Each structure stands twice: as C-alpha cells, then as structure tokens.
Amino acid sequence: MTVRAIREFGDLVLREPSRPVTRFDAGLARLVTDLLDTCRAPGRAGLAAPQIGVGVRVFCYNIDGDEGYLVNPRLVSSDGRQDGPEGCLSIPGLYLSVPRADHAVVAGTDLAGQPVEVEGTGLFARCLQHELDHLDGRLYLDHLSAGDRGQALRVIRTRPINEVFS
C-alpha cells in the first residue's frame, strides 16, 4: 500500500493541464494503485493524478464505498444544478459553496484501454466534476465569484487553513 503526499495550493502542477495517457503499462497500473490507496483515507472522495504530482489524465473516486478510476476521462454530459459545500485535499480545511451540475456522465478507459463510463448524481456528480477540473488545471476556487475567490485567497495567504466559511 502506497499513500502519496498531496500537493497543495501554490504547487504549479495543480494549474497545468494534464497530458493524455498514451502508455497503458505497469507504470500506469502503479499510478492507479497509488491514487486508490491515497484516496482510501477517511474523508477523501476523489483524487486526481496532479494532486500527487503526476501531470497525466487519471483520477480515482471513492464515494460511499463506490470506488473506481478513469484514465483519459472526459465529461459526456451534465444537467441540473446543485450548490453545496466543497473542499479539496490540495486546499485543506477550506470548504466553500460551489455550484455544480447535479448529474454528470464521464467516459474514459480502464487500465487496458477499454471504454468505461460512470454516471453520478449529487456528491458523486460533484466529485466527478471536481476531479475533471484538476486534470484541466482548475481548482474549485475558479468556480467562485470574484469576491468569494478573493476572500478565500486572503484566508489561504494569511493563516493556516482550518476555517469553514461560505
């Protein structure tokens, strides 16, 4: 079992679009295993490869015991709307209300390059969209209004992050 360190806000890898996976080999299998092992810690719903310093398009999820991963994922469709608290392992302790689609369908591949599609609503849809954002070099802060984003950045820059606000 390998639990990897989480890259935090300010690390450039979190702001760079990830490269597509082109080699489906033992290295990719190790990456997926590391992501899943790292995501199994309590309170973790999803984890993207850039969050452990690897700039490729892979993420995993673990929502209410439903665990899996996608390689080269892409959003197929989304609809509805939900607003609710969202946090990020790369911005520990900060939870903000973020608008997201209430339903999302994401397609990608498995470790053998075979097509896979996952569909979720509520928290699962939020997780799928959040992890896709990471692969595109975006953070959940990017979905906030300018005022809320500014307030969040002031909190991040001025003190340890251990507050909840919205």
H or E, element range at 84: strand 82-88
Q: How far apart are CA 151 and CA 158, in angstroms?
A: 11
Q: Which residues pair with 109 in a beta bridge?
A: 71, 115
Residue 136's nearest CA partner among 8, 16, 31 is 16
Tell me which residues are annotated as active site.
Answer: 131
Q: How far apart are CA 166 and CA 65, in angstroms?
A: 28
**Contact assessment for residue 101 and residue 125, using Cβ atoms and an 8 Å cutoff:** yes
Q: How far apart are CA 120 and CA 78, in angstroms?
A: 10
Reading the block at residue 123, the tokens are: 């928290």
Q: Which residues pair with 105 in a beta bridge?
A: 77, 119
